[in-house]
Structure 1
């Protein structure tokens, strides 16, 4: 088939890139470096192996792996075969919305007695001379479903979306400026099974850039990393009390709002800090560049992307800068709904717009300021407050590292709210808790009590690092049952 007649295939697209960036590293590990030529060879070999397992058009491959090379090569191999791909995650097993035809795993992860996993041995992911000569290209329509991904659950329970090869190509092209061709060495705190990783890793490969495996910052510096992506919770865990020995050029943070003090800290280790707003449903939609003004305070400056982002009132009319409203987004590569979830689709997708459920306003410098979620409102005796604002009030107290406030799930509880608090120093918990109560009372007119401030070392979060309040409530109920306080 002549190239001009050949339907678009993202694996063939990558092979063209690999031909141009033949000897440029694609994936860099601590003890290996795989060139783009070698990665393309591995993809062809994996495709041949999958074809022998009867993977083809219409198949859905579910992979359980922590191996970056295995995940990316299997992903592109499914594209070459016209089949589909998903991660064999607990969400996949729990919701059963998506039904794979093939369950695969790599040796470093355990199997499951109830799932017929086939093992992809480590040798399969090493480039071998001559591999790929017979790998068949299976034409499929570029808009057919390719990747099945579950959302983070910020619009409710996790749901699945599908991305076609064409959609992934368009999303990658939209962020190409973030990955200058063969000039970007990329690393991320997001695991290689997550949607944020896939979005950035595919874009990096299609630009002929390098991906550095793992989260060892010393390895990053030794490998010449100049672009890092993370969530605020990743940065809290990995960078609190630390400063890199030398600065990395660019940090991109996504998943939740960056507090000003955190942004100041990040700017000690990164030349540029970008706060990204986006969702699984739309990909990256808007960016704020965070920088210090002449007084040393953090200011945000809006950097519009190719998406339309609006903040509207209840009548869907645009709000003025500074006025709160509902955020909505649209672009040419957004999904149009969720897999087998018509009610959730009707709620989030209306008249060509995606409504992520966020409340925000436009700032003074064209920046997008997300203040909370319209479904994360704490109702205490008729008084309503944004849950994220309640978190912020508690976190702002000196001696508090992290905090999440959520409704008390215990029946007939005297205290309507509970707070999980990570204290910086366990010895000062009592006095810090009293300060929390004072701060909360000043902010909202009523207080927490000592008995509903619960010291923890961490709390449940979604894949973007945001507090998972439902999971926090389930922890409280489980603890009460263990203590015999619930039937």
Structure 2
């Protein structure tokens, strides 16, 4: 296995691009990383599992290291299906970390398209830097992939970054849910976004704007979303037990709940473990978040369940306001009923994040469990 350290520099990204190209052609499996401890947990000195081209290492939502094994077939199937859905091979701007699957797939898509990707390097995400990187992108179609927080910053800035975003034929938005309010803001600003649902185990987004990519099958008949197709990983690094638990008969069982609408559109309802049992009533944290985020003056929200001596679990929310807002508890009560109404709402300038734009629910829970801030 070939570990490739990433430090945000274009030189490191170019080394990774070449290593991925070699791996897709049958060369050594690649392990991109930024955290040496996570690299060591993947035992890079030991041979990679057969058929592995890339190992995506992640600490996961529980903090336990996990390495997703992706074959050249899975990576290329995802990239080809993405190009088919977006409008053909094109020129890509890499604007997310390449040690996560969303960023790495930008490199794979560029390799298959025969185009040179442009790298947005450095630390942090600044709209002016995004605009400068986009200006170096030649030819078309023009694509990039962002997480919702990056898109929000472009829309909030309203300057050169937003102007650059408008020049893209498509911006794939993934890693975290794209709220209806954010979709509306992007449309009003003239930015063409394509919300994507997927994960490392599906070689990046596999459901675009609610509809599975070509070759992807989605089963939502049970209490979990299950996914099948050539895009699937073939297991977890040195974890045959976890592999057997999650991959069975060509299907991968996710941690998410969903529903299929009559037109075939898949709606993700949130993680199965985000259900809150309060007073004997099961409340979807995701449903409460959607109501809160739909209210004027609310940019973002995270809802968690906290231990409560009376209710078992109490529904509590951390909200990021952007101006004056109405009675948020009343809005939730009117739409979802008394059980879903937060017992307490706290406010903050931003939500804690982990990985590529995902809300750190454990950090939110710890903050809210500490009690109201003065």
Partner residue, 2:215: 306
> Structure 1 residue aligned with 2:132, among 219, 235, 244?
219
**Conserved 8 A contact 1:155-1:356:** no
Structure 1 residues 243-392: aligned runs within 5 Å: 244-245=162-163, 246-270=166-190, 272-283=192-203, 284-288=205-209, 302=211, 304-313=213-222, 326-392=224-290
Structure 1 residues 182-201: aligned runs within 5 Å: 184-201=90-107
Taking the aligned partners of 2:358 and 2:170, their CA distance within structure 1 comes to 22
Deviation at 1:197, TM superposition (A): 0.6
Partner residue, 1:68: 10
**Conserved 8 A contact 2:260-2:267:** yes
2:294 matches 1:396: yes
Partner residue, 1:435: 327
Farther off after superposition, 172-181 or 245-254 = 172-181
Query: Once the two structures are superposed, what CA deviation does each residue of 1:357-385 show, in whole Å capped at 9, x if it has no partner?
Result: 22212234322111212221111121111
Partner residue, 2:60: 153
Gaps of 5+ in 2: none
TM-score by length of 1: 0.63
Query: Once the two structures are superposed, what CA deviation does each residue of 1:213-251 show, in whole Å capped at 9, x if it has no partner?
Result: 226342255335721211223212332363733543212
Taking the aligned partners of 2:312 and 2:80, their CA distance within structure 1 comes to 54
Q: 1:142 to 1:94 in 2, by over 3 A?
A: closer
TM-score by length of 2: 0.79
Taking the aligned partners of 2:315 and 2:150, their CA distance within structure 1 comes to 27
Of structures 1 and 2, the one scoring higher in RCO (CA 8 A, sep 6+) is 2
Structure 1 residues 445-484: aligned runs within 5 Å: 445-446=338-339, 447-449=341-343, 452-476=344-368
Q: 1:84 to 1:326 in 2, by over 3 A?
A: closer
**Conserved 8 A contact 2:277-2:312:** no
Query: Once the two structures are superposed, what CA deviation does each residue of 1:261-298 show, in whole Å capped at 9, x if it has no partner?
Result: 3222222445643222222112232222xxxxxxxxxx
Farther off after superposition, 386-395 or 464-473 = 464-473
Q: Which has the larger radius of gyration?
A: 1
How many residues align? The count is: 352
Partner residue, 1:416: 314
Q: 1:69 to 1:94 in 2, by over 3 A?
A: closer
Taking the aligned partners of 1:367 and 1:156, their CA distance within structure 2 comes to 32
Partner residue, 1:100: 44
Partner residue, 2:31: 86
**Conserved 8 A contact 1:408-1:417:** yes
